[in-house]
Amino acid sequence: MILEYLQKQVDFFNKKIGDFIPSGEPKILFDAMRYSLTAGGKRIRPILVVESAKSVKPGIDINTFIEIPVACEFIHTYSLIHDDLPAMDDDDFRRGKPTCHKVFGEAMAILAGDGLLTHAFNLISLNKFLESEKLIRIINILSEKVGIYGMVAGQAADMDKNFRDVEFIHTHKTAKFIEACCEIGGVIGSADESQIKYLRDYGYAIGMAFQIWDDVLDEIGEEEKLGKKAHKDKEKDKITYPLVYGVERSKEMARNYVEKAITSLKDIPNRDILVNIAKFIISREV
C-alpha cells in the first residue's frame, strides 16, 4: 500500500523535477546537472516536504509550493555529486550509473553541484504563493540544516579520519536535512509552533533510522540489489552503526528511532502516511 503510494509520488516528482531542469550555456554544465537530477532515486526529501504539509493541511494544493520540494531534491543531488568526487568518497557508480564526474569530469561535477545548490535558493525565491515571511523562514531552516551546522559539517566529519563520533556524523550528514524537510512542510502547511516541533522531531528520528538502516544494508546487502557496491563503508574505513554496535543492535536502534518518530506524531491530525513512511524505512531491503 505505502509502497504503491510512494511509487506514485516518485513518478510525480520525477515529472516535476523534469519541469524545473534548467537549460542554458555552457551546455556541458547544464547536461551535467540534468544527468544527475534524472538519475533516479527515492525522492524521499521532496515527498516528506509534501506529506508533512498535508499532515497539517490535508487539502493544500502542491502547485502553490512545488518549488520548495524540488529545491530540496536539487540540494540532495548537489550533495551526492560532491560526495562522489575523487577527493571525497571517490565513487564511480551511483544508482547503477557512472557518477557525474566520471561522465563530465571533476571540474564540471564541482560546478554542477555548486549550480544546483545555488539554484535551489533561486527556486524558493521564485515562489509566488507563500508569504515572504514563510519563504525566509524556509530558507533559514534549509540553509542551516544543509550547511555548516548540518549536512556540510556531517560530510566534513565523515571525511575527517580523526572524527569517530558516528552519532554526530549521521545526525549532521543525514538526519538534519530530513528534519528540515518535515519542519518546512509544517511551515508551508501553517502548522502551529508545537506541531512544527513534532514534525521536526519526527524528521530527525526517521532521518537517523534511514541512515542506520542504510549502514545495515551496506553491511549485509548484495550489490545487485543496491545498484552500487556493497561493503563500501568497510572498504573506505567509514565509521558506521554496524561497526560500532553490530548489525542486530543497529537494527534495534533503527527500530527505536522509528518508534520515537511515530510517537512524535501523536498531535498531528493527518499522520497516517507519515507513520507508514516511518515504518517503511526499516522494512527496505534496498
Residues in contact with a copy of itself by the rule CB under 8 A = 22, 24-26, 28-30, 33, 82, 85, 87-88, 105-108, 110-111, 113-115, 117-119, 121-122, 124-126, 131-133, 135-137, 139-140, 143-144, 146-149, 152-153, 155-157, 159-160, 163, 168
Cell of 11: 513518478
Cβ atoms of residues 30 and 23 within 8 Å: yes
Q: Please say which residue, 60 or 159, places its beta carbon nearer to a copy of itself.
A: 159
Q: Please say which residue, 4 or 19, places its beta carbon nearer to a copy of itself.
A: 19
The identity of residue 269, as a single letter, is P
> Smallest distance from the beta carbon of 181 to a copy of itself, in angstroms?
16
Q: Please say which residue, 180 or 277, places its beta carbon nearer to a copy of itself.
A: 180
> Smallest distance from the beta carbon of 227 to a copy of itself, in angstroms?
24
Q: Please say which residue, 25 or 285, places its beta carbon nearer to a copy of itself.
A: 25
Residues in the chain: 286
Q: Please say which residue, 39 or 153, places its beta carbon nearer to a copy of itself.
A: 153
> Smallest distance from the beta carbon of 6 to a copy of itself, in angstroms?
28
Q: Please say which residue, 113 or 242, places its beta carbon nearer to a copy of itself.
A: 113
> Smallest distance from the beta carbon of 37 to a copy of itself, in angstroms?
12
Q: Please say which residue, 85 or 247, places its beta carbon nearer to a copy of itself.
A: 85
> Smallest distance from the beta carbon of 185 to a copy of itself, in angstroms?
18
What string of H, E and C letters represents the secondary structure of the chain?
A: CHHHHHHHHHHHHHHHHHHHCCCCCCHHHHHHHHHHHCCCCCCHHHHHHHHHHHHHCCCCCHHHCCHHHHHHHHHHHHHHHHHHCCCCCCCCEECCEECHHHHHCHHHHHHHHHHHHHHHHHHHHHCCCCCHHHHHHHHHHHHHHCCCCCHHHHHHHHHCCCCCCHHHHHHHHHHHHHHHHHHHHHHHCCCCHHHHHHHHHHHHHHHHHHHHHHHHHHHHCCHHHHCCCCCHHHHCCCCCHHHHHCHHHHHHHHHHHHHHHHHHCCCCCCCHHHHHHHHHHCCCCC
> Smallest distance from the beta carbon of 120 to a copy of itself, in angstroms?
8
> Locate cell 551546455: which residue?
27
> Smallest distance from the beta carbon of 155 to a copy of itself, in angstroms?
6
